[in-house]
């Protein structure tokens, strides 16, 4: 049986995107850990959880399709039967209606793989959800299916460059290819490093600095370094009856509004030691059970007191709550009456992390600075090109934590 679907052509680069303003709280995460980059080990019992809300009380005929991609997230030319078992197009049959909240919605949920679909090839993948009746896409989500073939050893240091020692995390690693077939290391083998869940500042152009038989050494200075950042800020909207963390006021109206305490940029030498949840958010409520359908949607007002003149620059609210992107909906605007940069986002109740990023001279900076003490999670994926089927396999994965060098 065949269905129509959005026509993403071969070689088109796809990314995490939401195309419909009604779609909220769009999440794709590991069934066992909702605070990690979405990935699963092939031929294992691991699954991904897809969930999202539609601010519409009429359930729709929503479907998802899974696309195989090259290492750079361009759609590969693998046919569907080459990378999957079952059907790559499936209806999302699990949904429920919101109960009690002021803002009504339908909550959709699906597990992948499932009885209708499974993977037979590793690689980068795009999950695209669309409306079957209109053939319009709702959103795309990236995830990775990997094999455990090569061994990756990695560690994190302060930068080897003296002037960057306080600001950068340097990652050195090696890859053992004893169990891998390849033709040309420099053209066939790729490594990509992601900081937390950030798809957009990855390092992907490294080549081995030294080769010893089948052991590839990657020992660089600036080329394999990331800005260390600072801990994320947090707020808690799980209760509408009392003020949670970082909440200044709660206004009860047709839609509830949470006003956050006014933020100020941290001092240039200040590292926030307050623990965070790595920029993610967890939809949740205190007063009722089943937060997936009993949580309300509320307005959250952000206020950043900053005296600098940003007439030619842009400040963004950033984190999982903005889909890990610099979203135009999350730009802060100066309010003369409040004497701060402010904006409001419609968010599902829960516990949230966020930060402020600023674009200055075409460079993205964390407004709270960069400190090597900051805890960051780094995800390393190793790719090799398979000439038999002409696709990029993901043959190794390693997660490391910058806490390891304290």
Domains of the chain in start order, with CATH, are 17-146 (2.60.40), 151-228+373-405 (2.60.40.10), 233-366 (2.60.40)
pLDDT band per the 50, 70, 90 thresholds, residue 178: confident
Lookup result for tokens 């691991």: 46
- Asked if the model's pLDDT at residue 1 lies above 50, the reply is no
Lookup result for tokens 């038999």: 388
Question: What tokens does 130 get?
Answer: 């669309």
The Cα–Cα gap between 95 and 103 comes to 17
Residues shown for the chain: 406
pLDDT in tens, 244-273: 999 999 999 889 999 999 999 887 667 777
The Cα–Cα gap between 129 and 84 comes to 17
* Average predicted confidence (pLDDT) for the chain: 92
Mean predicted confidence (pLDDT) in 13-31: 95
pLDDT in tens, 365-378: 999 989 998 999 99
Question: What tokens does 398 get?
Answer: 């390693």
Whether residue 113 has a cis bond before it, omega within 30° of 0: yes
CA nearest neighbour of 141 among 45, 240, 66, 44: 66
Mean predicted confidence (pLDDT) in 343-353: 98
The Cα–Cα gap between 385 and 123 comes to 10
pLDDT in tens, 271-308: 777 889 999 999 999 988 999 999 999 999 999 997 76
- Asked if the model's pLDDT at residue 240 lies above 90, the reply is yes
pLDDT band per the 50, 70, 90 thresholds, residue 90: very high
Q: So what's the pLDDT on residue 3?
A: 46
CA atoms within a 13 Å half-sphere pointing along the CA-CB vector of 42: 21
Q: So what's the pLDDT on residue 195?
A: 94
Close Cβ partners of 336 (under 8 Å, ≥ 6 residues apart): none
Is the separation of the CB atoms in 132 and 62 below 8 Å? yes
Mean predicted confidence (pLDDT) in 90-101: 92
CA nearest neighbour of 402 among 219, 181, 188, 154: 154
- Asked if the model's pLDDT at residue 309 lies above 80, the reply is no
CA atoms within a 13 Å half-sphere pointing along the CA-CB vector of 38: 24
Three-state secondary structure string covering the chain: CCCCCCCCCCCCECCCEECCCCEEEEEEEECCECCCCCEEECCCCCCEEEEEEECCCCCCCEEEEEEEECCCCEECCCCHHHHEEECCEEECCEEEECCCCCCCCEEEEEEECECCEEECCCEEEEEEEEECCCCCEEEEEEEEEECCCCEEEEEEEECCCHHHCCCEEEEEEEEECCCCCCCCHHHHEEEEEEECCEEEEEECCCCCCEEECCEEEECCCHHHEEECCCCCEEEECCCCCCCCCCEEEEECCCCCEEEECCECCCCCCCCCCCCCCCCCEEECCCCCCCHHHHCCEEEEEEEECCCCCCCCCEEEEECHHHCCCCCHHHECEEECCCCEEEEEEEEECEEEEEEEEEEECCEEEECCCCCCCCCCEEEEEEEEEECCCCEEEEEEEEEEEHHHHC
Does residue 5 or residue 302 have the better pLDDT?
Answer: 302
Residues of the chain with pLDDT > 90, as a percent, come to 77
Q: So what's the pLDDT on residue 51?
A: 97
- Asked if the model's pLDDT at residue 47 lies above 80, the reply is yes
Lookup result for tokens 């419609």: 346
């Amino acid at each position: 049986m065949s269905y129509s679907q959005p026509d993403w052509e071969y070689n088109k680069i796809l990314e995490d995107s939401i195309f419909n303003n009604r779609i909220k709280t769009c999440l794709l995460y590991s069934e066992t850990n909702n605070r990690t980059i979405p990935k699963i080990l092939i031929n294992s019992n691991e699954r991904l959880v897809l969930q999202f809300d539609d601010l519409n009380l009429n359930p729709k005929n929503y479907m998802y399709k899974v696309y195989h991609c090259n290492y750079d997230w361009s759609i590969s030319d693998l046919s569907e039967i080459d990378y999957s078992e079952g059907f790559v197009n499936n209806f999302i049959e699990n949904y429920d209606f919101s109960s009690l909240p002021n803002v009504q919605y339908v909550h959709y949920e699906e597990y992948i793989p499932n009885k209708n679909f499974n993977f037979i090839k590793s690689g980068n993948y795009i999950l695209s959800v669309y409306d079957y009746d209109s053939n319009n896409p709702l959103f795309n989500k990236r995830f990775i299916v990997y094999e455990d073939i090569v061994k990756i050893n990695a560690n994190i240091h302060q930068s080897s460059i003296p002037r960057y020692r306080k600001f950068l995390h340097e990652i050195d690693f090696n890859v053992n290819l004893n169990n891998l077939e390849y033709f040309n290391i420099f053209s066939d083998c790729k490594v990509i490093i992601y900081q937390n869940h950030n798809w957009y500042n990855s390092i992907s152009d490294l080549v081995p600095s030294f080769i010893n038989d089948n052991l590839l050494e990657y020992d660089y200075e600036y080329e394999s370094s990331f800005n260390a950042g600072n801990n994320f800020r947090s707020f808690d909207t799980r209760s509408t009856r009392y003020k949670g963390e970082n909440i200044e006021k709660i206004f009860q109206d047709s839609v509830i509004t949470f006003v956050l305490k006014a933020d100020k940029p941290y001092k240039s030498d200040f590292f926030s030691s307050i623990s965070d949840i790595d920029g993610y958010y967890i939809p949740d409520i205190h007063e009722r059970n089943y937060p997936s359908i009993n949580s309300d949607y509320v307005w959250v007002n952000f206020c950043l007191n900053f005296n600098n003149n940003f007439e030619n620059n842009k400040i963004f609210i950033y984190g999982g709550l903005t889909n890990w992107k610099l979203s135009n909906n999350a730009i802060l605007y100066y309010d003369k009456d409040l004497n701060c940069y402010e904006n409001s986002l419609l968010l599902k109740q829960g516990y949230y992390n966020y930060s402020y990023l600023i674009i200055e001279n075409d460079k993205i900076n964390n407004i709270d600075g960069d400190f090597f003490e900051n805890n960051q999670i780094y995800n390393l994926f190793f790719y090799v090109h398979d000439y038999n089927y002409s696709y990029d396999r993901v043959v190794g994965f390693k997660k490391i934590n910058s806490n390891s060098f304290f």
